[in-house]
Chain A
Amino acid sequence: MSTKHLAVAALSLIVVCVFPVAKLLAFCGFYVAKADAQLFNKASKVVIAHDGDKNVVTMASDYQGDPREFAVVIPVPTVITKPQVHVTENALIDHLDAYTAPRLVEYFDEDPCAPRRAYEGPMARMALSANSVGGGKRSADALGVKIEAQYTVGEYDILILSATQSTGLQTWLSQEGYKIPAGAADVLGSYIKQGMKFFVAKVNLQEQERLGFHFLRPIQVAYESPKFMLPIRLGTVNANGPQELFVFTLSPKGRAETTNYRTVKIPSGLDVPLYTKRDFGPFYKAMFDTQVGKEGMRTVFLEYSWNLGFCDPCSADPIPNDKLIELGAYWLVPAAAATPPNSGIVGPRYNPNGPQGATYVTRLHIRYDREHFPEDLMLQETSNRENFQGRYVMHHPWTGEASCPAGDTYNKSLPQRFSREAENLAALTGWDLAAIHREMEETGQSFDPAKVMQAPKWYEKLWPQGE
């Protein structure tokens, strides 16, 4: 038997950073770009649907290597039987990731000379919205390891183990060909004493071939336990540097937060220069790095928390009930006649299955290592139903004729506004202010009042600079 790499709890991801294709939708306050989990290296994505003692955990594997060498060991609070395990599609988690991703929205200034009118609708609402060993084998019994259950689900062979001592469990896993990182025994021992079982999954190559999948699909586990937590300690034992984790929770109650690490809202609602649209991926990464540094890598970041009944602005299609139910939201009723998601409109978009009552999604983003996150993540659902999203705003200046006193005032105010946007960007990302100023000048946001007040030539409108 070949030696399997133990992809423990946190599953290390090696993904080429691909900036998501920005949908260039030039509507008032419309979503134009998102920053999803693919931007980050070594990122794991876990979805937990939680209601009282009922939990459904969906774990997206970020493993990119040979499926023969894949194995995962996850501490679980109870014995898991075959009907409690399911294998789902990556698209499901990807959808939730895209739907909750921090987003960039853009507004277009009105003609300063046109009569003022009261704004209702999306813009007004927007303003409010603010992751074989050879030799003599010893029997499981002799090592204090008990195989509680053993079955195959989808392309995975699954074992549920309980153990009486960490060294026995470690020896047994090693005998069976699992490569256990050094230092894992202490952590395994702690979980054993806490009465945890171990969910061990590896790929069944025949099944995988029969099913026709060429990549690893997320495993789902449903169980009843008052423990609302995510074990991260095994993943930090042998980790090479900090890891990135996205935790998505679904709850009928409200927002989820960690109870043993401070949960902090990611900065949101700030005005940024127009060129951020082009650089939204790097912007978001730099912004997250800066925030992690500022908090000393000791906090959990809230990136999105919203009622699943609608989104505004939306960074992906609303998620229909059947998909949410597959993710574990058992309290929802599947709608028989779903209407297709409304698309291409300004402002809020509603769930095709109607209002979700009180179904809330929370997206938490954690960068962690052993030193700063020694404990597992303990979570709680709260009755907090405030909607929050990581959202950054671009304001396109009016580029038409503005020959009136109000137009002059407007033009004179622009350099100051651009300076504020530059300062926001510098404070958020730690980027050099002078470089931001240069970039803004090059992309048409001039700080020179004379240039601002000069109406663009007709040919400059044909090929805007920087696009």
Chain B
Amino acid sequence: MDPRHYQITALASLLAFGVLFLDFDISVDCIALILASALITQFACTRLFQLPHFDPRSALITALSLCLLLRSDSYVVLFGAAVIAITSKFVLRWNGKHIFNPTNLAVALCIALNWGWISPAQWGSATWLAFLLVCMGGLIVTRAQRADIALAFLLLYAGLLFARAMWLGDPLTIPTKQLQSGTLLLFAFFMISDPKTTPSEVRGRLLMACALAVSAFVLQFQLYNPKALIYALVLLSPLTIILDYLFPARVYQWPPTITRGSSHEHKTSRRRSA
């Protein structure tokens, strides 16, 4: 199974659940706008960059992630975020990979410029177990291809939260509650583990996981920034170039069965390297 199919199903289900039961601050027309803008941009870039065929799957994943994360009361911002996210995949590339996770880049830009916001607590803590199951399901489907970075990040981040609580003398209910966060799980399993942006080699991924966990922790608890996860990833993403240089490995390709021979990313990569 192509992991993207699972991701699309999982993200769409989470979005439906959020809108129907958790009162997410995003209307149906905003969702439609983001999806349409992302797909049209993907289509336009496919033509512009002369890819062999239009593949909506990656754009759908980005659009659904934007719907889950980004909030804005301006249609222009939502449209712009979708365009920036998709375009970044085609423009900001290095050695056949995206430098930034498209959703992460667009969201970071929008919140840094005060065009939109994210609601880190929108999932509450009651739904985290179901959320965890969805995320773990993703691991099984993707045959744990990039699970190492997600799990290493979560383990270290959890360790830092518990260590902080113990140092402060806080009850352990505090770090436990901090970990029961849909936003954190979404970030770990659907964003930093994106195979098109993570370091290609396992040591690179583990180093990246450590850097992310420590940066996010410092941003959150020393600089009091509630958007720590988003900023940590966007600031550290270019580090992948160095890590891939230090630990070279084959660049990840989406399963070839879907694109009948070779994925468009692979072709693009070969063409560009040529």
Contact = CB atoms under 8 A, between A and B. Distances in A.
Interface of A: 166, 186, 189-190, 193-194, 226-229, 253-254, 257-265, 295-296, 298-299, 371, 374-375, 378, 380, 382-386
A398 to B, nearest CB: 34
B261 interface: no
A194 B73 contact: no
Interface SS of chain B: loop
A187 to B, nearest CB: 8
Interface in B111-154: 114-117, 119-126
A260 B121 CA distance: 5
Contacts of B170: 186, 190
Interface of B: 22-23, 25, 71-73, 114-117, 119-126, 167-171, 173-174, 177-178, 223-226
Given A226-B225, A384-B25, 11 more contacts: A186-B170, A189-B169, A193-B169, A260-B121, A261-B121, A261-B124, A262-B123, A264-B23, A298-B126, A374-B174, A384-B71
A296 B126 contact: yes
Interface hub of B71, B117, B123 (most chain A Cβ within 10 A): B117
Contact of A265 (B23, B71, B120, B126): B23
Max chain B C-beta neighbours (<10 A), residue from A166, A257, A258, A298: A257
A51 B178 CA distance: 26
B114 A226 contact: no
Nearest to A263: B121
Nearest to A386: B73
Contact of A262 (B22, B114, B168, B224): B22
A254 B115 CA distance: 11
Given A186-B169, A298-B126, A383-B116, A260 B73 contact: no
A378 B120 CA distance: 11
Nearest to A379: B226
Contacts of A258: 121
A189 B166 CA distance: 11
Contacts of B117: 254, 380, 382-384
A193 B164 CA distance: 10
A190 B121 contact: no
A378 B178 CA distance: 12
Contacts of A264: 23
A383 B114 contact: yes
Contacts of B169: 166, 186, 189-190, 193
A295 to B, nearest CB: 8
Given A193-B167, A257-B121, A261-B121, A384 B73 contact: yes
Nearest to A262: B124
A382 B71 contact: yes
A185 B60 CA distance: 52
A366 to B, nearest CB: 13
A405 B171 CA distance: 69
A375 B71 CA distance: 25
Nearest to B183: A259
Nearest to B176: A374
Contact of B224 (A186, A226, A374): A226
22 contacts: A186-B169, A186-B171, A190-B169, A193-B169, A194-B168, A261-B121, A262-B123, A264-B23, A296-B126, A298-B124, A298-B126, A299-B124, A374-B171, A374-B173, A374-B174, A375-B177, A375-B178, A382-B119, A383-B114, A384-B25, A384-B71, A385-B73
Given A194-B168, A386-B73, A257 B177 contact: no
Contacts of A265: 23
Contacts of B116: 383
Contacts of A259: 119-121, 226
A375 B171 CA distance: 10
A374 B125 CA distance: 12
A193 B226 CA distance: 20
Nearest to A300: B121
A329 B156 CA distance: 41
A166 B121 CA distance: 31
A253 B123 CA distance: 24
Residue with the highest number of chain B CB atoms closer than 10 Å, among A186, A383, A385: A383
A61 B22 CA distance: 34
Contacts of A382: 71, 117, 119
A226 B125 CA distance: 25
A283 to B, nearest CB: 22
Contacts of A227: 224
A72 to B, nearest CB: 23
Contact of A190 (B72, B114, B168, B223): B168
A262 B23 CA distance: 10
A257 B119 contact: yes
Contact of A226 (B115, B171, B177, B223): B223
Contacts of A375: 174, 177-178
B122 A262 contact: yes
Contacts of A385: 73
Contacts of A299: 124
Closest 6 CB pairs of A and B: A382-B117, A262-B124, A259-B226, A190-B168, A374-B173, A226-B224
A376 to B, nearest CB: 10
A374 B167 CA distance: 17
B162 to A, nearest CB: 14
